C-alpha cells in the first residue's frame, strides 16, 4: 500500500516511517496540512494516517473537507487527544479508526491491515487464490505445502492485485504502490517484479494486458 503520514512530531514520524517500511508499504510523510493537500492532489494513496494538531491547522476540519469532496481514502487518526468527545468528533468526521498516543507500533500495523481489508471488501485476513494461500495479517504465503518468501516490494505489488481481484492495474498505479515521492523509478522495475512473482507463484498468477497493464490471473 501507499500510505500518507501527516505528523509534525519528528521522533514519532521516523518511528512510524520505519514500521511502515518494515511492513512492506510505501510511505509519504508530510508535517503540514497544506503539504498533505498537495500530496493528495498529486498522487493516489491507499490510506492516510492523520495527526489532529498540525502547525497550520486542525485535523478534523481537514478530514471533513476530504469527505465533503467525496474522497473515501481510509483515514486513521493518530493523536494525543484521548477524551471520548475527541474520539467521537474524529469518527463522526469520517475517520475509520482512532489511536491515542503513545501507541504500540505493532498495533498500528494491525489496525492498518484491518482497515485496508475492510475497504478491499474482504475483512478476512485469509485469502485463497488457486493453490496459493495468503495470510494478509501475518504476511505469509504458501503455495501447495511450500512457504513462499517475498521481498517487501514484491509483497506490496502482490497485495495490490489481491485487493483488486479482476481489476486492471496500470504500470503507473503499480509504481505508486512501490515508491515514495522523490524515489527514482526505473523503466523496467514493474516488469522485473512481475517476472519474479511469476517465478515464485506460478506463470499464470499475473496476466499481462499488453499496452494497458496487469491483472490477477485466474485462480
**Coil/strand/helix, residue 31:** coil
Domain positions in the chain: 2-120, 126-216
What's the topology of domain 126-216?
Answer: Arc Repressor Mutant, subunit A (1.10.10)
Question: Strand runs (DSSP E) across 51-195, as ranges?
Answer: 53-54, 57-58, 75-79, 97-100, 126-129, 132-135, 140-143, 146-148
Return d(Cα 14, Cα 20) in angstroms, integer. Answer: 10
Please choose, from the candidates 147, 114, 152, the residue with its C-alpha nearest in 3D space to the C-alpha of residue 132: 147
Tens digit of each residue's pLDDT (9 = 90 or more) over 155-186: 888 888 887 878 899 988 888 777 655 556 67
Give the pLDDT mean for 50-59: 95
In this prediction, residue 159 carries a pLDDT of: 84
Helix (H) or strand (E) holding 110: helix 105-120
In this prediction, residue 185 carries a pLDDT of: 64
Helix (H) or strand (E) holding 1: none
Do residues 87 and 60 touch, judged by C-beta distance below 8 A? no
First to last CA, the chain: 23
Looking at 3.40.50.2300, 3.90.1150.10, 3.40.50.300, 2.60.40.680, the CATH number of the domain 2-120 comes to 3.40.50.2300
**Coil/strand/helix, residue 14:** helix
Whether the pLDDT of residue 34 is over 90: the answer is: yes
In this prediction, residue 79 carries a pLDDT of: 94
In this prediction, residue 108 carries a pLDDT of: 95
Model pTM above 0.85: no
Pairing of strands 26-30, 47-50: unpaired
Tens digit of each residue's pLDDT (9 = 90 or more) over 130-158: 899 988 777 789 998 899 998 888 888 88
Q: How confident is the model at residue 72 (pLDDT cuts 50, 70, 90)?
A: confident
Whether the pLDDT of residue 219 is over 90: the answer is: no
HSE, side-chain direction, 13 A CA sphere, residue 203: 0
Give the least confident one: 74-78, 101-105, 130-134: 130-134
Tens digit of each residue's pLDDT (9 = 90 or more) over 79-91: 999 999 999 999 9
Burial tier of 44 (Cβ tally within 10 Å: 0-12, 13-18, 19+): exposed
CB atoms within 10 A of CB 122: 15
Q: Tell me the average pLDDT of the chain.
A: 88
In this prediction, residue 18 carries a pLDDT of: 92
Do residues 96 and 75 touch, judged by C-beta distance below 8 A? yes
Amino acid at each position: 500500500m501507499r500510505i500518507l503520514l501527516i505528523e509534525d512530531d519528528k521522533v514519532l514520524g521516523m518511528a512510524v516511517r520505519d514500521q511502515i517500511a518494515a511492513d512492506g508499504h510505501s510511505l509519504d510523510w508530510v508535517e503540514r496540512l497544506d503539504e498533505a493537500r498537495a500530496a493528495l492532489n498529486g498522487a493516489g494513496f491507499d490510506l492516510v494516517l492523520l495527526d489532529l494538531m498540525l502547525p497550520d491547522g486542525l485535523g478534523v476540519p481537514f478530514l471533513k473537507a476530504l469527505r465533503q469532496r467525496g474522497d473515501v481514502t481510509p483515514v486513521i487518526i493518530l493523536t494525543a487527544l484521548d477524551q471520548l468527545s475527541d474520539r467521537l468528533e474524529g469518527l463522526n468526521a469520517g475517520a475509520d479508526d482512532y489511536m491515542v498516543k503513545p501507541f504500540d507500533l505493532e498495533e498500528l500495523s494491525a489496525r492498518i491491515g484491518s482497515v485496508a481489508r475492510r475497504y478491499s471488501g474482504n475483512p478476512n485476513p485469509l485469502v485463497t487464490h488457486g493453490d496459493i494461500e495468503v495470510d494478509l495479517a501475518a504476511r505469509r504465503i504458501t503455495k501447495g505445502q511450500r512457504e513462499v518468501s517475498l521481498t517487501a516490494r514484491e509483497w506490496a505489488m502482490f497485495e495490490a492485485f489481491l485487493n483488486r481481484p479482476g481489476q486492471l492495474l496500470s504500470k503507473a498505479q503499480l509504481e505508486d504502490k512501490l515508491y515514495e515521492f522523490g524515489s527514482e523509478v526505473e523503466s523496467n522495475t514493474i516488469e522485473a517484479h512481475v517476472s519474479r512473482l511469476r517465478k515464485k507463484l506460478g506463470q499464470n498468477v499475473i496476466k499481462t494486458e499488453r499496452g494497458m497493464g496487469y491483472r490477477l490471473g485466474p485462480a
